[in-house]
Every structure is written in C-alpha cells, then in structure tokens.
C-alpha cells in the first residue's frame, strides 16, 4: 500500500490546459477512443505548451448518453476501447470492423449506431482473447474486486433482462437474494467474463495513453460526479447506502433549486446518499471510489463539490426541483478521507453555485483549488467575482466556459449591445471580431494558477459545437473534433502565450 503524505499541498503547478472529452476525439468508429488520434492530441497539447488535459467522466453511459449518468462510478466506457489496437493484437479483423456502420457524420456522434455495434464487435475480440492466461489480467481482477465483480454481474443481468433498469428485474435478483446471485453467476458465467474482459482492455489502453501523456509533462484532469445514477451497479450492489424505500425506489433525489436561469430548478434524479450509514462504515465506498479515481487521473475534479457541505433534497415524487430543501452534508469528515485516499493525486473543487460561508470555509481548510468561469462575469458589474481583476487568490482553475456553458463565440453572439460594449472595453478592443483572441489571451495573463480552454473556443466555433445544455436531453454530448481543424489553430502564438505568462510545460506532471 502506498503511503500518503502529511500536510500535502493541493496547489496545482501554474499552467494552461484544454478541455476535450475523449468522446470528441477524431476516429473512424463514430466516437473518440484511446487510439492513435488521442496520442496525436497529446502531441498537440505539447506543441501549444499545455500542462493539462481535462476530460469529462469516462464511465459507461446510459440513457441520454450523459457521462454524468453512468452505469458505474468505477468502470470505464466500452466505447473508448480502440478497435485498431485490437486489430493489431490479432483480436479483430479489418473486415469484421468494416462490416458495421459507425457514423453518419465525422463531426457528430450517433450514439444509436455506436450502441448497436460496439458490444457486438467487442464480443468477437473476447472470444479470441487469451486474457485469462495473462498475469496482468489476474492482477487487474484482484486489484479491482471491490467493484468489478458487482459491475460485471450487473451488466450481465441487465443484458439478460433486455437492458431494463434493475428496478424492473425479477425480485430475487433485484433484491440480491443470495440464491439468486449464485443462480445468475452460474447461468451468466460467460457474459460476466466478457464484461471483465472489457474492463481489462479499457484499463490497459487507458494506462498506455496516460503514461504517454505524463511522459510529455502533461497531467490529466478527470471529472467525477458527486452523485451516481439510479440505474447503476453502485446503487444495486450497495442499496443500503442510498435513500431508497422498501421497494428500492428513491425517497429523495438530487438537484438544485430554482434560480435566475431556471424557473423550476434542476431535478437531476440521482438518489441521495445516506451519509449517516456511510459514516458508520468509515465511508468505505467513497474511499474505494477515490482510490480508483486516483489511479485514472493525476487531478480529480469533484463536480458539485458544494453538495458535500450542503445538498438539495427533492422529494422523488416531485416532477421539478421547486419543493426541495437544503440539508447538511458530511463536510470535513469526507474531505479528510478523500485526502487520505488519493496518494499523489490532487483535487479541484467545482464550487460553482450557492457559496455559503461553510462551503468557503471548507475549501479554505482543504486547500483544494476552486473554479471561476469568466462567462459568468461579463454582465457589466465591475465587482463581479468572476471578472479577472477580482481573482484575489491564485489557487484556482479559471475557465472561459465549461462543458455546461455556451462556446465563447456563441456567448458573445448572444450578448446585448450594452454587455458587448462593456466586454470590448474590458478587453481593450474596439472590434467584436478581435474579442475571442483578446479574451483567451487575457485568461492566460491572469493570476489563476491553471486556466482551461475548451477546444471549441480555440477553434472559434458557435453554439452548434456546444457540448451540453443542462436540463435537456437528446442533442447533448455529440460534438466531435475534426482532424482537419487542428490547422485552424495558431499553435505558435498559443505556445508563446504559455511562455510569456509563465505557463509553459517544463517536464513532469502533477500525478
């Protein structure tokens, strides 16, 4: 067991980074993978002097395709396994892969095509694989036994019941009766082994990509949601840790209350934790989750960090977030455990939202860097804390916008005349066409230790390239980068900005 350091600093090395989901990387198979194009993106990061690559959650996605609603808080997404690497291993043939339709467009993911093809093609590879004979595979299964056994059984039973959510399974296995667990492990033995194989290949390919990224002096920032999906192996296998009734239905669910942006708030629908029960067993599930995340990432961004301090509880039968109430979370008890569980990894606290004094106090006590989003600051109010000159503490990660926000071009295009006039004055330019570069450069000059730019903003893309519109389903998480678009970026200028403003990569990583 590796030892953790006492009084560890969570401050990040000054640098710049790019936000690009794995799903958005170019590929021939409908969605980004851990193959050649990912390595080429890392090379691009090196050429522009970046220290950081931020990705979205890389877990297996469910209905709606959101990476924040995953079948597991531990497992990896089978879509990201690179098929060309499996061909090189002799596990697949070109003709088998080419027999499937993977995409209708190179710049948009068709999740239906990917879903219908990916598992089928991976099963061809599984049948030819001799992974069970490999020591690496045996070590992988042993090291991940806490979650792997439950996840592979869950996915196998889900397949057995035509992909229905676990609440609709037969009662014996829904309630995890010992006899049912044994029964399904016996009849689904081959299917369970397949899902073990999928996770092994995911881990093998990801570790290869991460090692290459770190060798270039670039750290990977991973993103983990605070909550997990109701239809997940985590809730099914550890139902006692969640607010569920005797029929396993959620009693209260997560979300955020109404505000100036959303009249009815946001009802996310994730089941809430029984924090008291978790505390009784020493937060074992969280301990294992953070250990697992620290293996995957150099820096872990905890989404909706404020929910650790205060969380919004919505009655499950309420169709909106109007009727919820704030409740107290575990606070420092959990953050102390997080610190002790992640070894050399670091944390970013996504502290956007209602920043009550106790949230601010906990972030100060932990030393975790928080976040600023520049798009939240350009309303004409010079005292807005999201404006660059109000960044009092450099221990932060600054964004123009995150995956939940408009692209920079889309944002500027939607501003009224008064706001646009203020924005041009603030960034010292008279022409609207010069604003994107002026804003990006200004972020580089800021005293924020880390700045993260969405790839779409370097490319000056409008909102058709936006990744997510919160509280909507159907057209999110689809944008993809075209390989030809690299040519549109002035790499020399970005490298110079990294150098001029003390953000240049100089070897090593934060992992």
d(CA 267, CA 264): 8
Burial 52-66 (b: 16+ CB within 10 A, else e): bbbbbbbbbbbeebb
Measured torsion, CA atoms of residues 98, 102, 104, 110, in degrees rounded to the nearest 10: 180
DSSP state of 273: B
From the candidates 82, 243, 298, 350, give the one annotated as an active-site residue: 350
498: nearest Cα among 436, 464, 450: 450
d(CA 482, CA 25): 8
Sorted by sequence, the CB contacts under 8 Å of residue 223 that are 6+ apart come out as: 54, 55, 56, 57, 67, 301, 303
d(CA 466, CA 357): 33
Q: Rounded to the nearest 5 degrees, what angle is found at the Cα of 261, between the Cα atoms of 255 and 267?
A: 20
Residue 457 is among the residues annotated as catalytic for this protein: no
From the candidates 404, 437, 491, 496, give the one annotated as an active-site residue: 404
Residue 150 is among the residues annotated as catalytic for this protein: no
Query: Residue 10 CB: number of other CB atoms within 10 A?
Result: 18
Residue 350 is among the residues annotated as catalytic for this protein: yes
Q: Confirm if 58 and 296 have CB atoms less than 8 A apart.
A: yes
From the candidates 204, 234, 303, 406, give the one annotated as an active-site residue: 303
Q: How many CA atoms lie within 13 A of 303 on its CB side?
A: 20
Q: Confirm if 53 and 220 have CB atoms less than 8 A apart.
A: yes
Q: Confirm if 75 and 158 have CB atoms less than 8 A apart.
A: no
Report the DSSP pairing between strands 266-271 and 370-373: unpaired
243: nearest Cα among 216, 267, 278: 278
Q: Give catalytic residue positions.
A: 303, 350, 404
């Amino acid at each position: 067991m590796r030892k953790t350091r006492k009084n560890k600093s969570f401050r990040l090395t000054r640098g710049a980074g790019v936000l690009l989901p794995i799903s958005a990387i170019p590929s021939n198979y409908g969605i980004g993978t851990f193959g050649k194009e990912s390595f080429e993106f890392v090379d691009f990061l090196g050429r522009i002097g970046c220290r950081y690559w931020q990705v979205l959650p890389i877990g297996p996605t469910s209905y709606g395709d959101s990476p924040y609603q995953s079948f597991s808080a531990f497992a990896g997404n089978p879509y990201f396994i690179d098929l060309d690497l499996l061909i090189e291993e002799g596990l697949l043939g070109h003709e088998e892969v080419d027999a499937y339709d993977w995409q209708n467009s190179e710049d948009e993911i068709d999740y239906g095509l990917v879903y219908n093809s990916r598992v089928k093609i991976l099963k061809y590879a599984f049948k030819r694989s001799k992974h069970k004979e490999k020591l690496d595979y045996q070590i992988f299964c042993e090291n991940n036994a806490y979650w792997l056994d439950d996840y592979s059984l869950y996915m196998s039973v889900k397949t057995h019941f035509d992909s229905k959510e676990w609440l609709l399974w037969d009662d014996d296995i829904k309630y995890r009766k010992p006899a049912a667990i044994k029964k399904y492990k016996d009849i689904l033995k081959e299917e369970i082994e397949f899902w073990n194989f999928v996770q092994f290949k995911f881990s093998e390919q990801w570790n290869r990509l991460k090692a290459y990224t770190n060798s270039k002096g670039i750290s990977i920032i991973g993103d983990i949601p605070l909550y997990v999906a109701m239809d997940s192996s985590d809730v099914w296998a550890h139902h006692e840790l969640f607010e569920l009734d005797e029929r396993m239905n959620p009693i209260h669910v997560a979300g955020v209350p109404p505000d100036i942006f959303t009249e009815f708030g946001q009802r996310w629908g994730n089941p809430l934790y029984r924090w008291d029960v978790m505390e009784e067993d020493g937060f074992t599930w969280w301990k294992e989750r953070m250990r697992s995340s620290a293996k995957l990432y150099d820096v872990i961004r905890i989404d909706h960090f404020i929910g650790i301090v205060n969380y919004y509880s919505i009655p499950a039968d309420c169709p909106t977030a109007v009727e919820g109430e704030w409740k107290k979370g575990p606070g420092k008890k959990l953050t102390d455990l997080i610190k002790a569980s992640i070894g050399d990894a670091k944390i970013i606290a996504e502290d956007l939202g209602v920043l009550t004094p106790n949230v601010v106090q906990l972030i100060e006590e932990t030393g975790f860097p928080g976040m600023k989003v520049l798009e939240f600051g350009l309303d004409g109010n010079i005292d807005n804390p999201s404006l660059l000159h109000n960044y009092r503490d450099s221990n932060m990660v600054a964004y123009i916008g995150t995956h939940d926000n408009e692209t920079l071009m889309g944002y500027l295009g939607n501003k009224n005349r008064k706001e646009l006039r203020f924005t041009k004055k603030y960034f010292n330019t008279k022409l609207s066409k010069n604003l994107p570069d002026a804003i990006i450069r200004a972020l580089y000059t800021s005293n924020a230790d880390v700045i993260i730019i969405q790839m779409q903003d370097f490319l000056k893309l409008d909102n058709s390239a936006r990744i997510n519109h919160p509280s909507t389903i159907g057209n999110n998480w689809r944008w993809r980068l075209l390989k030809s678009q690299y040519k549109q970026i002035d790499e020399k200028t970005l490298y110079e900005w990294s150098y001029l403003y003390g953000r240049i990569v100089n070897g090593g990583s934060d992992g």
